[in-house]
Structure 1
Amino acid sequence: MSKFNSARVRTAATSAVVSGRRPSGRTHEGAPGYERTPQSELFLLAVTNLVGEHTFYESGGDRDQRYAALVHTATRTDPEWTARFLRWLRTTANLRTAALVGAAEFAWARLDAGESGMSRQVVSSVLQRADEPGELLAYWLATHGRAVPKPVKRGIADAVGRLYDEHALVKWDSAAHAVRFGDVLDLTHPAPTADRPWQGALFTHALDRRHQRDNEIPAELATLRARAALLAVPVAQRRALFDDPERARDTLRTAAMTWESVAGWLQGPLDARVWEALIPSMGAMALLRNLRNFDEAGVRDEVAATVAAKLSSPAWIARSRQLPMRFLSAYRAVSSLRWGHALEQALQHALTNVPALPGRTLILVDTSGSMDAVFSKDGTLRRWDAAAVFGLALGARCADATVVSFSAAGHWQGRRYPSSLVFDLRRSEPLLRAVERWKSGGFFIGAGTDTAGAVHTHLAGHDRVVILTDEQAHGGDVGGAVPARVPLYTWNLAGYRRGHATSGVARRHTFGGLTDAAFTMIPLLEAGSRADWPF
Structure 2
Amino acid sequence: MARKLTPQALMSAMTLTHEGAAAYDLRADQPLLHLCFTFGSALFTDGYYTREAAQVRAFAEALGRAHAVDARFPWQYAAWMRDPVRGKGNRIQGSLAPALLDGLLRETPFTEDYVATCLGHRPDDVAAFVLHLQQLRLGRPTAAARRGMARALAGFDAYQLLKYARPKDDVRLCDAIAMVRPELEALGEAGALALRVGRYLHAPTRERSALAESVPLLAARRQLFTAPTTFAAEAAFVDTVRAARVTWEQVLGRYGVSLKGKDGAALAKARKRNAAVWKALLVDEALLPDMALLRNLRNLHDAGVSRGGLIARVSRRRFDGVWPHQVFAGAKAVPPLRTVFEAAFRRTVDRLPPGRHLGLADASGSMAVRVGGPMSSMTSMDVALCLTALMSETSGLGASFSDDQFKAWTGGDYLRIAQRSTGEGPLAFAQNPALRTGMGGTQVHGAVLELVRWLTTHRSVKPPECLWFFSDMQFHPAKGSRSLPRWVADAGLERYCDPTRPPLEQALQVYRAVVGPVDVVLWNLAAYGQAPVPLSTPGVLMVSGFDANTLSTVGRWRAGATASTAPLAANQAHVLDTVRSF
Q: CA deviation at 1:26?
A: 1.2
Residues 390-469 of structure 1: matches in 2 within 5 Å? 390-398=387-395, 403-410=398-405, 418-426=413-421, 429-436=424-431, 438=432, 440-441=433-434, 443-460=436-453, 462=463, 465-469=467-471
Query: Matched residue of 1:317: which SS?
Result: coil
Q: What corresponds to 1:227 in structure 2?
A: 221
Aligned 1:140-179 pairs, distance under 5 A: 140-163=133-156, 165-179=157-171
State the secondary structure of the residue aligned to 2:113.
Answer: helix
| TM-score relative to the length of structure 1 | 0.82
Please list the CA deviations of residues 226-272 of structure 1 after superposition, one character each: whole Å capped at 9, or x if unmatched.
Answer: 22333445xxxx3211122x422222222222222234435963752
Deviations along 1:117-153, whole A, 9 cap, x unmatched?
Answer: 1111111111111221111112112223553210110
Structure 2 vs 1, CA of residues 309 and 195 (structure 1 numbering), >3 Å: closer, same or farther?
farther
Question: CA shift at 1:490, angstroms?
Answer: 1.6
- SS of the aligned residue for 2:361 comes to strand
Code of the residue aligned with 2:91 in structure 1: it is: R
Pairing 1:105–2:100 present: yes
5+ long unaligned stretches in structure 1: 1-20
Judged with a 3 Å threshold, the aligned counterparts in structure 2 of structure 1 residues 194 and 26 are, in CA distance, closer, same or farther, namely closer
State the match for 1:473 in structure 2. 475
Aligned twin of 2:41: 48
What is the DSSP-based 3-state SS (H/G/I as helix, E as strand, rest coil) of the residue aligned with 2:135? helix
Aligned to 1:351: 349
CA distance in 2 between partners of 1:526 and 1:425 (Å): 29
Instruction: Tell me whether 417-426 or 131-140 shows the greater mean CA deviation.
Output: 417-426
Aligned to 1:10: none
State the partner residue of 2:296: 290
Listed one character per residue, the Cα deviations across residues 462-508 of structure 1 (whole Å, up to 9, x for unaligned) are 56543221111112222112217545432211121113322464334
**Alignment match, 1:14:** none
The answer to whether 1:76 aligns with 2:68 is yes
Gaps of 5+ in 2: 1-10, 260-269, 457-462, 479-502
Question: In the alignment, what sits opposite 1:502?
Answer: 534
Matched, 1:26 2:16: yes
Contact 1:492 1:512 in 2 (8 A): yes
Which of residues 529, 543, 546 is equivalent to 1:511?
543
Q: Say if 2:525 is the partner of 1:493.
A: yes
Change (3 A) 1:383 1:334: same
Report the equivalent of 2:484: none
Are residues 202 and 404 of structure 1, via their aligned partners in 2, closer, same or farther at CA, if it must alter by over 3 Å? closer
Shift of 1:210: 0.8
Q: Distance in 2 between matches of 1:269 and 1:390?
A: 36
Residue 405 of structure 1 aligns to a residue in which SS? strand
Specify whether residues 498 and 306 from structure 1 end up closer, same or farther in structure 2 by C-alpha distance, changes over 3 A only: same
Note closer, same or farther for the CA distance 1:511–1:144 as it changes in structure 2 (3 Å cut): same
Q: Bigger shift: 523-532 or 169-178? A: 523-532
1:139 and 2:132 equivalent?
Answer: yes
Q: Tell me whether 1:382 sits opposite 2:386 in the alignment.
A: no
Would you say the 8 A contact 2:362–2:400 is kept in 1? yes
Q: Alignment identity in percent?
A: 20
Q: Aligned equivalents of 1:196 and 1:282: distance in 2?
A: 30
Question: Does 1:482 pair with 2:508?
Answer: yes
CA-CA distance at 1:194 after TM superposition: 7.7
CA offsets, 1:400-456, max 9 Å, x none?
x763221111489xxx993322112447532122223x2x34534332211111112
Relative contact order, higher structure (CA 8 A, sep 6+):
1
Conserved 8 A contact 1:490-1:509: yes
Q: Note if 1:369 corresponds to 2:381.
A: no
1:308 equivalent in alignment to 2:301:
no
Residue of structure 1 in register with 2:334 after alignment: 334
1:39 shift after superposition = 2.0
RMSD: 3.0
The question of whether the paired residues in 2 share the 8 Å contact of 1:467 and 1:490 is answered with yes
The one-character-per-residue Cα deviations of 1:274-312 (angstroms, maximum 9, x if unpaired) are 3333333311111111222333xx31235x655432311
**Equivalenced residues, count:** 487
For normalisation by structure 2, the TM-score amounts to 0.76
